[in-house]
Amino acid sequence: MKAMTIRDFGGPEAFELSELPKPEVKPGHVLVQVAATSVNTIDMMIRQMGKDLPFAPALPAVLGMDFAGTVVAIGDGVTEYAVGDEVYGCAGGLGELQGTLAEYMLADARLIARKPKNLSMREAAALPLVGITAFEALTRAGTAKGQRVLVHGGAGGVGHIAVQLARHFGADVYATGGADEQLSMIEKLGAAGINYKTESVTDYVAKHTDGAGFDVIFDTVGGANLINSFDAAALNGQIATTVSLLELDLSMAHFKGLSLHVVFMLIPMIHDHGRAVHGQILGELANIVEAGGLRPVVDEHHFGLSDAGKAHERLASGQAMGKVVVEI
């Protein structure tokens, strides 16, 4: 099979087109013919800094985590799928798990679900990692009907899915962005846009919550922005974040009685812990998509397998609107 591999960690030029043996199916797994994969920030981090990340794959490596494709072989013990099923998931690209920048991949059946029927392969490949992340963050924070939910980075890969899911859960949704096109996307997705460059936390908390603060905040920006989340939260509010690698003064969180949920969705893949939960979430996401409550936004630029480096460059540029997808 054809695959894009890297022999050294580094820039996007590290990718090279290679011929590799097609994986053989094994118990508990399915062999998938990959139709499309999407690029996530973690894929770029592994490509750039793999030697410093304990979960990076050994070199030479095939990167890529998300995929959509068709089952072509079934391993022993797998009863819920059949050859010909269209599936999607986040199941490779780290540790010993071969990535998705290849014509075929071996996927743990617990990490996948049937592809939403009303999405193309290109669209479905954009959803798994960001969808699981947003779903886990919002549900762990107890997002419910009638709550005020703030999503920091509402036009980003995870953020634009979180906006739609929070609306699906019945919340009143608000989201931050810093450019006109970002705010336009946020509003098209059904949330009230907040320009974090021109509106202070005090101003938008007063404007949208009468000073009471937001019940749930999902901070996809993280880092120092967590202080803004603390400031914007209601008393006893819930904050979820995907970016918490820093030292932080928790005084405000203490005095407000806030709960902080740190989401690291790679744990099931890295540690083989709770993998079936990811498959269940993907199944729920497919139901929401098919009911019209969710649709991933895909960047307008098209990339093929040999363009993997260019796809990484597109995401790194910050100019992509929606998920960057590579079609195999």
pLDDT tens by residue, 178-187: 999 999 999 9
Specify whether the CB–CB gap between 255 and 236 falls below 8 A: no
Per-residue pLDDT band for 196 (boundaries 50, 70, 90) equals very high
CATH 3.40.50.720 in the chain is located at 130-262
324 φ, ψ (degrees, to nearest 5): -85, 125
Answer yes or no: is pLDDT of 51 > 90: no
CATH 3.90.180.10 in the chain is located at 2-127+269-327
Answer yes or no: is pLDDT of 6 > 90: yes
Collapsing DSSP to helix, strand or coil, 274 comes out as coil
Give how far Cα 288 sits from Cα of 115, 124, 192, 239, 295, Å. 12, 13, 22, 24, 9
Can you read off the two tokens belonging to residue 167?
Answer: 């609306």
Per-residue pLDDT band for 34 (boundaries 50, 70, 90) equals very high
Which distant-in-sequence residues (6+ apart) come within 8 Å of 77 by Cβ?
27, 28
Average pLDDT value for residue range 80-87:
98
The domain over range 130-262 is classified in CATH as 3.40.50.720: yes
Q: What percent of the chain has pLDDT over 90?
A: 98
Per-residue pLDDT band for 1 (boundaries 50, 70, 90) equals very high
Average pLDDT value for residue range 88-101:
97
Integer Cα distance of 9 and 45 in angstroms:
10
Position 200 scores a pLDDT of 97
Q: Which residues, in sequence order, are bridge partners of residue 113?
A: 88
Position 149 scores a pLDDT of 98
Integer Cα distance of 253 and 170 in angstroms:
26
What fold characterizes domain 2-127+269-327? Quinone Oxidoreductase; Chain A, domain 1 (3.90.180)
Tokens 């880092």 -> residue? 223
Answer yes or no: is pLDDT of 16 > 90: yes
Give the DSSP letter of residue 23: P
Q: Which residues, in sequence order, are bridge partners of residue 177?
A: 195
Integer Cα distance of 173 and 160 in angstroms:
11
Average pLDDT value for residue range 152-159:
96
pLDDT tens by residue, 304-315: 999 999 999 999
pLDDT tens by residue, 253-303: 999 999 999 999 999 999 999 999 999 999 999 999 999 999 999 999 999
pLDDT tens by residue, 216-235: 999 999 999 999 999 999 99
Tokens 């021109």 -> residue? 198
The answer to whether the peptide bond before residue 60 is cis (omega within 30 degrees of 0) is yes
Integer Cα distance of 276 and 278 in angstroms:
5
Position 278 scores a pLDDT of 98
Answer yes or no: is pLDDT of 129 > 90: yes
Specify whether the CB–CB gap between 63 and 57 falls below 8 A: yes
pLDDT tens by residue, 52-75: 999 999 999 999 999 999 999 999
